[in-house]
Amino acid sequence: MRRLAASVAAFAVPAAGLVALAGPAQAAASATATYTKVSDWGSGFEGRWTVKNTGTTTLTGWTVEWDFPSGTRVNSAWDATVTNSAEHWTAKNLGWNGTLAPGASVTFGFNGSGSGAPAGCKLNGAPCDGGPSQPGDNPPSAPGTPAAGTVTETSAALSWAPATDDKGVKDYDVYRGSAKVATVSGTSYTDTGLTKGTAYTYSVTARDTAGQTGPSSGTLTVTTPGGTTPDPGEKVKLGYFTNWGVYGRNYHVKNLVTSGTAAKITHINYAFGNVQGGKCTIGDAYADYDKAYSADQSVDGKADTWDQPLRGNFNQLRKLKAQYPHIKVLWSFGGWTWSGGFGQAAANPAAFAQSCYDLVEDPRWADVFDGIDLDWEYPNACGLTCDTSGPGAFTNMMKAMKAKFGQNNLVTAAITADASDGGKIDSADYGGAAQYTDFYNVMTYDFFGAWAAKGPTAPHSPLTSYAGIPQAGFNSADAIAKLKAKGVPGSKLNLGIGFYGRGWTGVTQDAPGGTATGPAQGTYEQGIEDYKVLKSSCPATGTVAGTAYAKCGSNWWSYDTPATIAGKMAWAKQQGLRGAFYWEFSGDTANGELASAVHSGLK
């Protein structure tokens, strides 16, 4: 909350209320008024005016006038009486601060809304820059919004585009929140002595050779790494970002911004790193940290250079976190294709944990990641390959990971949702491992699909069981119930949502349970298609077990919609779950409607 003063201004006063202020208190060619935007928190800002007597005689009263563009206004003020007539604003001294001896100054401030800057400033009827004594000497422009360089647990490197001034810029004042922390002559500064896991907001103002300060830059918020364990009361809203999405899918970190999704998530799982030779290894070096981004592709509109130390998705994620410091990024290792290496890794969990820590905390990108996610498909069971490490292997791995990464990093895992008797949940000690895990992402999707080419058709992500379901225990409710029964608290479980559908072709029956001739054609592979395509190409015709299905021609698809996601989020809250996650961002629409549904449903 912003501070309130003893004297709170009137605002939105009709024009008739300004009669008493019609005349200036005193002609003042030897006084100046300068404006600074002290801070900006998105929905509002704090502005500050400083009136200075630059003459040789006492100033016995002051009135500052300025114009704001439509949509920008003063909401409350202190140390002055502020009134307005439409977009024209007037501030008059109070009884105790109107007299200024030569060289003295007084400051008044206000909380406002809108993005405009003041124009046409007058002090006691004369130009605010001192009038005839300083002809044409305008204050400097606003510097560029600061950009973050290297951010450590205790420091933040800042840089900004220079301000302009008709007489020349002398130096810059750097503000952390409303406190000035430095005055520098260049366009960069490194703030030190910070606290890990803490958000800091920075802005910069320029000063010209006459000592006039201009308007404030925009604000940048950065969060120092460390101390990342989320508030237990905060709902997790996590999405997977795939490194291969930058190729054929043409999906980049910037899409999280343009879609509006970045403001509606708490975590990103970056997928995938590989598991080879008992170690965590790079998944795709080019996409991860080498791909050069042009200005139009980049999160901050700045192109990569050939010699910068970090490029690719990692650098784009760094830029995203600078703009959205609430987001935690975890590096996810394994997945369906790369889980075959977990068995060897689990044979020496301490060495495996050390290798993962060394890679995640590599100095080139340590600030990008807030922890690690392990996606082992599946411990002591079969996925693409079969594992026989034993029921305790997963617990031993998670224990070693937590011991190495510590309490200031997140350690999470994606786990099976197979709740059938003797199924994959029964194959590993997920209850015992939970004590070393910040949360589990329960993969409550892909229960059914066209790998059973002849059908029966069934929703791939049923929330509950239903009459005719092909396999008992293959639904979200049974999976969550079994995990809770094994000792995993609901506060460590996230419900999984697929941003895609699974489908068959050669289907004649509209309702689930029909026969098929094979998988339906998808954009990238048979039997699977993004929601953003299905929404228009095969709109939902019915719902079953809390999810949607659609029959169009001879194709039959099942997928989640904003409406079914809303129902699943309500159920997740009723069950006391930690939140939800989804696979994966690129399946959503350009305006992020599925991510919005998750966000809205968990409020």
**Quick one: pLDDT band at residue 219, thresholds 50, 70, 90?**
confident
- Do 154 and 273 share a structural domain? no
- 569 in any annotated domain: yes
Active-site residue, 377 included: yes
- Do 342 and 418 share a structural domain? yes
pLDDT at 132 over 70: no
Residue 475: which of 460, 467, 490, 464 has the closest Cα? 464
Going by C-beta distance under 8 Å and a sequence separation of 6 or more, which residues neighbour residue 143?
160, 161, 162, 163, 172, 187, 204, 205, 206, 217
Peptide bond preceding 378 in cis form (omega within 30 of 0): yes
What's the rounded Cα separation, in Å, for the pair 543 and 541?
A: 7
**Quick one: pLDDT band at residue 586, thresholds 50, 70, 90?**
very high
Mean pLDDT taken over the chain = 89
pLDDT at 131 over 60: no
User: Residue 81: enclosing H or E segment and its boundaries?
Assistant: strand 81-85
Where is pLDDT greater, at 430 or 54? 430
Contact 237, 265 (CB under 8 A): yes
- Do 420 and 321 share a structural domain? yes
Catalytic residue among 46, 377, 584, 593: 377
Residue at token pair 């300025």: 66
Based on the structure, what is the number of domains in the chain?
Answer: 3
Please tell me the pTM assigned to this model. 0.65
**Quick one: pLDDT band at residue 234, thresholds 50, 70, 90?**
confident
CATH number at residue 472: 3.20.20.80
- Do 162 and 70 share a structural domain? no
Phi/psi for 176 (5° steps) reads -105, 105
pLDDT the model gives residue 31: 87
- Do 462 and 410 share a structural domain? yes
- Do 102 and 39 share a structural domain? yes
Q: Give the strands of the sheet with 105-113, arranged side by side.
A: 31-40, 45-53, 105-113, 73-78
Q: Are strands 328-334 and 267-276 parallel, antiparallel or unpaired?
A: parallel
Q: Structural domain of residue 454, as residue ranges?
A: 236-498+561-601
User: Quick one: tokens of 120?
Assistant: 């046409």
CATH number at residue 72: 2.60.40.290
